Structure 1
Amino acid sequence: MENKLSNEELENIINQHDESEILDYKENFEDSKAIGEYISALGNSALMLHFPVAYLIWGIHDKTKEIVGTKFNPNRKASNKNQMPLKTYLEQFLDPHINLYWEEHNIKNKRVVALIIDISRVDHPISFLGKRFIRVGTSKKALSEFPEKERLIWDAFESTKFELKIAKENVSFDNLSNLLNLKVYKRVNNISAGDSELVKSMENDHLIIRRKINFDITNLGAYTLAKNMDNFPALKKRTIRITKYAGKQKLDKAIYDRQGKMGIVVSFDNLLTNIMNHIPYSESYSAGHREDIPMFPKIAIRELVANALVHQDFTKTGMYPSVEIFSNKVVISNPGVPLIDPQRFLDVQPISRNNELANLMEKFNLVESRGTGIDKVVNSLEQNQLPALEIRVPDSRSTVITIRSKKSFKDMTITERNSSIYWNACLRYVGDEQISNKTIRDSFKLTTRDSSMVSKAISNAIDAQLIKVYDPNVGKKFSKYIPFWGRDALNN
């Protein structure tokens, strides 16, 4: 069978990722029972984090990630006592059945074995020999010791079901157009033929389910295309809410407070316009005429709101996405915690817990599968001399992102400078560049007189373990820097 991963793809995984909840490196590890337990732990962690696969890779030093090669043979017997083939032994005692893809690669003239653990069709936690395991950091633990993680795994199954649950049953075709904005859907999908093409497209997008002569509308269909959310009471409280306060904190009077009344896809443009109408503006006089300049760039607001909608966790009841507008900041939050480390938002391919919603929003050009949204946010904040975005996960139930009003680099706190330098380094790194004292000055519109201040700020960011020196052999005057997770000159 042809390998699912090319040598280059596997090498990229090794280079870009340390051991984690869904990735483990071994050299010549051969304990058959422990391998089964690792499959359970890695697979359950992937389920909890909404990853479709996990990896167990032999031939790699777990600390340095040096490719050392391996003698491990997946085609061997389970043990001297158990003459059953290892693959058969694992498949027999894993519950439920999962797809295990064993691959052999030659990387830098070293033999590497990769096990791809595909959990995309699993419907309950994975056990081996009757016991369930989970990764805690990079350690293998009994799942029973971590009931919160087990609950998150079960929640993951519910989350994938939410989009396809029924919001309204037994709807006639004529009534579909009364409940859903089919005009917008047809325009975006360029549907001009008869009703059969429309129905087929909506079925393919999981918006409706055919029931003999009538249809059921799914949660996905209602949440995205509803003309009036009052027709879908169970979803009504899940639409995004916009609140504007008179001052800098929630104790100040709320002068505007509205929750969405329509599906998020068909109302997105109006939603964005509404937000931009309520954020503070400043006056600019250039070329002899007055211009009103929004305090926050529209592209940043757009990308952050779209991300909050598509990445929300529908298993968190009593919560909804929100945009809170203050005189000095905008706070955008959504139910659910990120599926990837917030510090890696810019370089790691985004993962959505709501695949059907993500696919539909991409079709409507509201999100991008390439993951460039956060790049645009970071770049637009820099261009407008705003502090870097702040990403917080205050509890196990929500993600909160704050963007703040204009502040010069000189006036930023140490934490704000650290964050701004880190995200600037990330943005340059994904473009195959490094930052330096000069590039920081250029990005934040500083002069050579500010060099010592920038040097101190870079030193602080290094101490905070957000960036590191790219080439230790270069003198400090000519030093360049990369994010803490990047590959330096010695490892390229």
Structure 2
Amino acid sequence: MENLDLLVRELIKCSNETPWLEFKHNNYDPKMIGEDISALANSAALHEKNCAYMIWGICDKTHEVIGTKENLQTLKKGNQELENWLRSLLSENADFDFHSVALDNKTVGLLIIYSATNRTVMFEKTDYIRIGSYTKKLNEYPELQAKLWDKLHNSKFEDRSAKIDLEITNALQLLDCNAYFDNIRINQPQDIKSITHYLLEENILQKQDNGLYAITNLGAILFAKNLNNFPKLSRKAIRIVQYNDNSRLEMLKENIVENGYIVGFEGLIKYIEALIPTREIIIGAKRETHSAYPMLAIREALANALIHQEFALTGTGPVVEIFKNRIEITNPGQPLVDIKRIIDNPPKSRNEKLASLMRRMGLCEELGTGWDKIAITCELEQLPAPKINLYPDNTKVSLFSEKEFSCIAQEDKLWACYLHACIKYVQGEQLTNSSLRARFGLKDSSSGSVSRLIKEAVAQKLIKPLDPHTAPRYMKYIPFWG
């Protein structure tokens, strides 16, 4: 972060400590710092501030710069670095940075604490708030607690500021305006005023009360020339890792896409395509090269990961991992819909403005049909079904390369059977023994093993007969919710 000395000088001009600003001399008690991070993050949200601050080496009475001998980055709690100890006891939405600032030939310690998002920041499972210059437990002030939760529930990631107090020329230098106008299919205006008009209308920029401009999280995450210019968003850059085999033992390549998502998306897809294996097939007299995975499926799975991620989870971002036999795409947060209803349910996103803008620019499918296309393209190439794994803080989608039916795990066969029934149902058709054999690329002689698979899927209540009284030979099946 730049100009930290100017930031500290502005803060010490405040006549008193505020709910989002605290001055310290040399008190570095770890427990106190943890409680204050919770209190200041929650107070920043309550007072609609992007950040709160703790500053060491300032007299809290006169605001005179007296300096401090400690270095926040090297402090320890026992044998553990203070920052790591704090993060282990704070809720996962806590975000903060330690800095040392030279001021008047003295060292000042600066802790920048980012506003709470989506829910309160807690320390040791307790949330705190600032009352005047004191840190108190939030539950002791029910009126403030209700007001804070209202603010958090109505606050949207896209609307919050990623960078503030910018001259318009400086703001535009941080964004790739060409990418915006190219994807929106409008000729870019030649004058700054017209460019600014479009970006304000899209909520990429916001006009501040002081006449300067802020770049919103929406604008930065999609159109940043370099996400490192936005410290709180830099961890949301897309990371691509290629491994030598099917484990994470040997890494071959690693790349971090530091552009905003729309700026770097097409280049990212081409980069992934160059890394994944290809196979040659003969069609008539022609030899054609085919990717081991449907590129449409990769594109949609990656777009879904970007759109539906939980931005409030700090220290983590979207990751694409390429193995010899699969691709795994992981994003922070869990889906808002039941994964068993991901084919037919209406789309839901916690980041509606981001999703809308990416769809308008053609980076993903409209109306929630992305997962339909992922599943269908894998079926058409007779690949194992794409799989969704849920973890406490992450969602992982796996796409698999070609695999013999006999080598597919029973659990994955059942999931493929269920997805096939879902796809057929939304198309106005039903699963049959014949259609499932075609889905796996099996011959008529495999009818018995497919019947057993269908029977097991019915037993596990993934699918059900369309008409239980139909003769077994003509039986058709639909999803359990059909």
Q: Under a length normalisation based on structure 2, what TM-score does the superposition of the two structures give?
A: 0.66
Is residue 445 from structure 1 mapped to residue 441 from structure 2 by the alignment?
yes
Distance 2:119 2:334 in 1: 21
The worse-fitting range, judged by mean Cα deviation, of 458-467 and 278-287 is 278-287
Equivalent pair of 1:467/1:483 in contact (CA under 8 Å): yes
After TM superposition, give the deviation of residue 192 of structure 1 in Å.
Answer: 4.4
Is residue 185 from structure 1 mapped to residue 185 from structure 2 by the alignment?
no
After TM superposition, give the deviation of residue 407 of structure 1 in Å.
Answer: 1.6
Name the residue aligned to 2:320.
Answer: 323
After TM superposition, give the deviation of residue 288 of structure 1 in Å.
Answer: 4.8
After TM superposition, give the deviation of residue 199 of structure 1 in Å.
Answer: 2.2
Q: Structure 2 matches for 1:453-492, cutoff 5 A?
A: 453-486=449-482
**One-letter identity of the residue aligned with 1:171:** L
Q: Structure 2 matches for 1:20-31, cutoff 5 A?
A: none
Q: Structure 1: which 5+ runs fail to align?
A: 1-122, 126-143, 145-149, 487-492
Q: Structure 2 matches for 1:46-125, cutoff 5 A?
A: none
Distance 1:416 1:283 in 2: 27
**One-letter identity of the residue aligned with 1:325:** I
Q: Of 167, 174, 177, which residue of structure 2 is paired with 1:172?
A: 167
**One-letter identity of the residue aligned with 2:271:** N
Question: Residues 156 and 399 (structure 1 numbering): CA distance in 2 closer, same or farther, change over 3 Å?
Answer: farther
Equivalent pair of 1:159/1:353 in contact (CA under 8 Å): no
Name the residue aligned to 1:247.
Answer: 245
Equivalent pair of 1:159/1:354 in contact (CA under 8 Å): no
Q: Of 270, 273, 279, which residue of structure 1 is paired with 2:270?
A: 273
Report the secondary structure of 1:401's partner residue. Answer: strand
Is residue 257 from structure 1 mapped to residue 254 from structure 2 by the alignment?
yes
Q: Of 207, 213, 216, which residue of structure 2 is paired with 1:215?
A: 213
Report the secondary structure of 1:284's partner residue. Answer: strand
Name the residue aligned to 2:44.
Answer: none
Q: Structure 2 matches for 1:250-399, cutoff 5 A?
A: 250-251=248-249, 253-288=250-285, 290-394=287-391, 396-399=392-395
**One-letter identity of the residue aligned with 2:198:** S
The worse-fitting range, judged by mean Cα deviation, of 273-282 and 263-272 is 273-282
**One-letter identity of the residue aligned with 2:452:** K
Name the residue aligned to 1:230.
Answer: 228
Distance 1:274 1:156 in 2: 41
After TM superposition, give the deviation of residue 173 of structure 1 in Å.
Answer: 2.3
Report the secondary structure of 1:323's partner residue. Answer: strand
Q: Structure 2 matches for 1:144-163, cutoff 5 A?
A: 157=152, 160-163=155-158
Question: Residues 399 and 154 (structure 1 numbering): CA distance in 2 closer, same or farther, change over 3 Å?
Answer: farther
Name the residue aligned to 2:424.
Answer: 428
After TM superposition, give the deviation of residue 472 of structure 1 in Å.
Answer: 1.5
After TM superposition, give the deviation of residue 231 of structure 1 in Å.
Answer: 1.4
Report the secondary structure of 1:426's partner residue. Answer: helix
Question: Residues 353 and 177 (structure 1 numbering): CA distance in 2 closer, same or farther, change over 3 Å?
Answer: same
Distance 1:428 1:183 in 2: 42
Distance 1:319 1:452 in 2: 46
**One-letter identity of the residue aligned with 2:203:** H
The worse-fitting range, judged by mean Cα deviation, of 280-289 and 414-423 is 280-289
Report the secondary structure of 1:163's partner residue. Answer: helix
Report the secondary structure of 2:262's partner residue. Answer: coil
After TM superposition, give the deviation of residue 156 of structure 1 in Å.
Answer: 10
Distance 1:412 1:203 in 2: 51
Report the secondary structure of 2:373's partner residue. Answer: helix
After TM superposition, give the deviation of residue 463 of structure 1 in Å.
Answer: 1.5
After TM superposition, give the deviation of residue 257 of structure 1 in Å.
Answer: 0.9
Distance 2:178 2:323 in 1: 36
**One-letter identity of the residue aligned with 2:333:** G
Report the secondary structure of 1:234's partner residue. Answer: coil
After TM superposition, give the deviation of residue 425 of structure 1 in Å.
Answer: 0.5
After TM superposition, give the deviation of residue 476 of structure 1 in Å.
Answer: 1.6
Report the secondary structure of 1:472's partner residue. Answer: coil
- Alpha-carbon displacement from aligned partner over 1:57-105 (angstroms, at most 9, x marks no partner): xxxxxxxxxxxxxxxxxxxxxxxxxxxxxxxxxxxxxxxxxxxxxxxxx
Report the secondary structure of 2:468's partner residue. Answer: coil
After TM superposition, give the deviation of residue 404 of structure 1 in Å.
Answer: 1.4
After TM superposition, give the deviation of residue 289 of structure 1 in Å.
Answer: 5.3
The worse-fitting range, judged by mean Cα deviation, of 188-197 and 226-235 is 188-197
- What is the aligned residue count? 338
The worse-fitting range, judged by mean Cα deviation, of 253-262 and 155-164 is 155-164
The worse-fitting range, judged by mean Cα deviation, of 254-263 and 200-209 is 200-209
Equivalent pair of 2:224/2:260 in contact (CA under 8 Å): yes
Equivalent pair of 1:248/1:327 in contact (CA under 8 Å): yes
- Alpha-carbon displacement from aligned partner over 1:299-330 (angstroms, at most 9, x marks no partner): 00000000000000011111111100000111
- Alpha-carbon displacement from aligned partner over 1:431-454 (angstroms, at most 9, x marks no partner): 111111122123333232221111
**One-letter identity of the residue aligned with 1:386:** L
- Alpha-carbon displacement from aligned partner over 1:206-258 (angstroms, at most 9, x marks no partner): 1110135431111111111011122112211111110000110112x111111
Equivalent pair of 2:206/2:216 in contact (CA under 8 Å): yes
Report the secondary structure of 1:262's partner residue. Answer: coil
Report the secondary structure of 1:209's partner residue. Answer: strand
**One-letter identity of the residue aligned with 1:203:** L
Q: Structure 2: which 5+ runs fail to align?
A: 1-117, 121-138, 140-144
Question: Residues 387 and 155 (structure 1 numbering): CA distance in 2 closer, same or farther, change over 3 Å?
Answer: farther
What's the Cα RMSD here? 2.6
Q: Under a length normalisation based on structure 1, what TM-score does the superposition of the two structures give?
A: 0.65
Question: Residues 155 and 415 (structure 1 numbering): CA distance in 2 closer, same or farther, change over 3 Å?
Answer: farther
